[in-house]
Amino acid sequence: MNLETLRPEIRLAVEAAQDKQAGEITVLRLAGSVAFAEYFLLCSGGSQPQIKAIAEAIAERLDQQGVRLAHREGKTGSEWVLLDYGDFIVHIFSERARRYYDLERLWRNAERFDVPAPGPPLEPHAESEGDAAHR
């Protein structure tokens, strides 16, 4: 499993989480392990406002693509927000709650993909003397 092979709606959720600087984004493929969901998307926020922003960004991005939210758990100020899309569930944790609940350990038999953090934007480099000489 990698970013390119993820289902489009899960990839959109990952991208929305990245846009809000979510930490430690992980996808667990639960197929065959449980009957209620095929995938979990786990990520962390550093503060309650960030957790809320991540949840809103994911819900908005998926809604724009016609992916409807079936159920939501966790209110403003929560350390864990759950977005249920039927066959995949998004879990957005505070760092403390993520360590406490440790879903990665609980579902350790699931196929796991840790989404790499986006790299810093590439900065244009100054033209070297050699580059200028070849023109």
pLDDT in tens, 28-48: 998 776 667 899 999 999 999
Compute the distance between CA of residue 85 and CA of residue 90 in angstroms, rounded to an integer. Answer: 8
| CB-based contacts of 67, cutoff 8 Å, min separation 6 | 9, 12, 85
Query: pLDDT of 53-81, one tens digit each?
Result: 999 999 999 999 999 999 999 977 789 99
pLDDT at 25 over 60: yes
* Residue recorded with tokens 């489009």: 8
CATH number of 3-104: 3.30.460.10
pTM value is 0.83
Identify each DSSP E strand in 3-132 by its residue range.
23-29, 39-45, 71-73, 80-84, 88-94, 111-114
